[in-house]
Amino acid sequence: MASESAPKLDLLKSAEKIYKAALVEVEPENLIRKNVSISNGRLTVQDRSFDLDSFHDIFLVSIGKAAPFMAKSFMEVLGDRVKEGITVCLPQTHTSLNKIACLPASHPLPDEKSLEAARRILELASRVGEKDLLFILISGGGSAQICLPAQGVSLEEKRLVTEMLL
């Protein structure tokens, strides 16, 4: 009887290892590290390459529940090359990053902070010129964290519709 349970236990252990390895592979910070690199003055993002000498400034916006982790990994690659950025995060994941403003906002329902975060991102984006790069990193929850309803739609109406869709 004991010998029959041993193969099941091995299968469970193997399944757990596979599951944990899969989670590590899709962690936002690992995805950034795998897909963003700099070599010989060229920034490569997946299959796109950018000659950094061709650009004046680099800006970063990161939104969603994984925003601070993605922004941190992105900054590890680009460092001082980023002029300015915004990361919108859950209050409990607030982090300090050089040159990056960390704005707390709500999830899953947008709030006043979500409105402010959206306004701040629009203001930053309006300053991005033709010779600049703006990177936007998005993870789940971003649509609640930055919310700027259309004219005539109140925040309360947006919250109500969002709540009904949950």
C-alpha to C-alpha distance for 20 and 110, rounded to whole angstroms: 32
- Rounded to the nearest 10 degrees, how much is the dihedral formed by the CA atoms of 116, 121, 123, 125? -170
Q: d(Cα 48, Cα 62) in Å, to the nearest integer?
A: 19
pLDDT digits (tens, 9 = 90+) for 14-49: 888 888 888 777 788 888 889 999 999 999 999 999
Task: Name which residue leads in pLDDT, 7 or 60.
Answer: 60
Which of 148, 157, 75, 63 shows the shortest CA–CA distance to 104?
63
**Pairing mode of beta strands 36-39, 42-45:** antiparallel
| CATH fold label, 2-165 | Rossmann fold (3.40.50)
